[in-house]
Amino acid sequence: PDPSICRVGEYFYMANSSFEYFPGIPIHRSKDLVNWEWVGYGLHRPEQVGGAVNLVDVKSQDGIQAPSLRHHNGTFYIITTCVYRPPDDDEGTCTNFIITATDINGPWSDPHVIDGAPGIDPDIFFDDDGKVWYVGTHPPHEKPNFAGEGEIWCQELDLSAWCLTGERHYLWRGACYGGVFVEGPHVYKHEGQYYLLVAE
């Protein structure tokens, strides 16, 4: 589920959610978007998933959700969420992190956890001016219109330190009054215009 696709050269590459399973984040490639072959996993070493990104004792349906796969200047990036609830508790955490590789087959880096990034389903957007943006979800920062309302936000991301920087911008709360869980944001730029794609 939750496929994310980018094109590099003659291939389309796709990453998917893997939830509680390890190895995690399966990656496939295709030349025609019809026939796919498996090429590897983003999370393929036990040491990647035994710390802040925890798949050791994760509950069913928690774990890795909605990865976003991107390629920029020779490097592949996967940004995603690890949802973790302790075995005896229904309250948990959402850890958003990035892994990188110069080869889609790996090896992939250890997770770079992005502190101060709430919510689920993050995206990473590389703008033409060299800036990199983190796009995420959270409950509205002020005055929600109804219970369960969500909000899409973005903030500049410093890849040299793997941290958010500058002002946080609040983009969208969804199209449907009473609709909950606006999520899965992706930002695109085409002919000078920015587009925000979300699920609701």
Q: String of b and e for 13-36 (b: at least 16 CB within 10 Å)?
A: bbbbbbbbbbbbbbbbbeeeeeee
Active site positions, annotated: 2, 183
Chain centroid offset of residue 161 CA? 18
Structure tokens at 15: 């990453």
The dihedral built from the CA positions of residue 112, 118, 119 and 124, taken in this order, carries a sign that is negative
31 Rama sector, left if φ>0, alpha if ψ -120 to 50, beta otherwise: alpha
- The gap between the terminal CA atoms of the chain, to the nearest Å, is 16
Peptide bond just before 111 cis, omega within 30 deg: no
